[in-house]
Amino acid sequence: MKIHLLPSQAALVEVGLMFLPAIPAYLWLWPSVSGTAWLKPVQSAVYVYLLAGTLLIGLRRWSLDQLGLNRKGIGLSLACGLAFVVGRILVIVATDLPWRLQPVTLERIVYDVAFYFGLVGLIEELLFRGLIYRALDEWRGARLALWGSALVFGLYHIGGQGSLGGLGTFIAGIVFGAIRWRAGGILGLIVAHGLADVTALWMLPGFDIQLLSRPQIVHPILLILGYGLILGVPVYLWKAPTRK
C-alpha cells in the first residue's frame, strides 16, 4: 500500500532521517572528541551537515522567505530576543554560579562571532524556527509549530547538556518560537541566539551544566527581574496586536 504524505509531513520525516546519525554521535563521537583539539572542527562539520540537510529538505518545498529568512518583524524579534538575553544574564548574576567576565581579545571576538552567529545561531534557527516550524505550522497550525519546534530544540541539546540543559533550551525554544510566530522571520532570532550563546560562554567558561546542583540566590531582585524579562517576552507577544 502506497502512503501519500503531505509536503509538510514528508519534510518532517526527512528531518527525522537527517537526525539518525546523532545516535552514534552521542554514543561514540562526542565522548571521543570532548576536551580535545578535534572538538571544534567536528562541531563545525556537524553544523555544515545540518545546514546542507536543512536547505536540501526545505528548499524542495518552500522558499527562503517562507523558511523565515526575511526582514519581517526584525525590530520586534531583535528587541524581544535582547530582552531574553538580558533576562538570562540577570538570572546568572543573581545566583552563586561561578560566573566571571572573561578577557575579550580581537581574535576571540572574531572567532566567537563567526562560530556562534555564523554557524550555531544561523543554522539552528534555520533548522528549528525555520524548517521544522514551517513544516509543523503548515501541517497542524501555529500552536503545534511553536510547541513542537521547542520540544525538538530541547531534545537536540540533551545529548551535550543533559536533561537540565534540555529543559533550559526547551524554555528558550518556547520564547524563540513565540517570537517567530509573531515576527514572521528569523533574522533577529539568529542575532539573539548568537548573543545568548556568546554571553553564556564569556560569563561561564568551562561550566558544565550537567554538574549543576541547586544554586543559591544571592540577589533576589535581580532574579525576579531576570525571570520577569524571560517570561514577559512570550506574554507580551501573546497579547500584542497581530502584525498586518
Q: Any alpha helices (H) in 71-141, and if so which ranges?
A: 74-94, 106-112, 122-124, 133-140
Q: What's the length of the chain?
A: 244
pLDDT, position 243: 53
pLDDT, position 27: 72
pLDDT tops 80 at residue 213: no
pLDDT, position 25: 79
95-113 mean pLDDT? 86
Cell of residue 192, nine digits: 539573539
225-241 mean pLDDT? 91
3-state helix, strand, coil in the chain (%, to 5): 75, 0, 25
pLDDT band, very low/low/confident/very high, at 208 (cuts 50, 70, 90): confident
Cα separation, 134 vs 137, in Å, equals: 5
Q: Is the dihedral of CA 41, 46, 47, 52 positive or negative?
A: positive
60-87 mean pLDDT? 96
pLDDT, position 211: 67
87-96 mean pLDDT? 94
157-173 mean pLDDT? 87
pLDDT, position 1: 53
pLDDT tops 50 at residue 38: yes
Cα separation, 160 vs 168, in Å, equals: 13
pLDDT band, very low/low/confident/very high, at 39 (cuts 50, 70, 90): confident
Cβ contacts of residue 8 below 8 Å, gap of 6+?
61, 134, 135, 136, 138, 139
Least confident of 32-46, 190-204, 206-220: 206-220
97-102 mean pLDDT? 82
Q: Coil, strand, or helix at residue 208?
A: coil
133-152 mean pLDDT? 97
pLDDT, position 244: 45
pLDDT tops 60 at residue 232: yes
233-239 mean pLDDT? 91
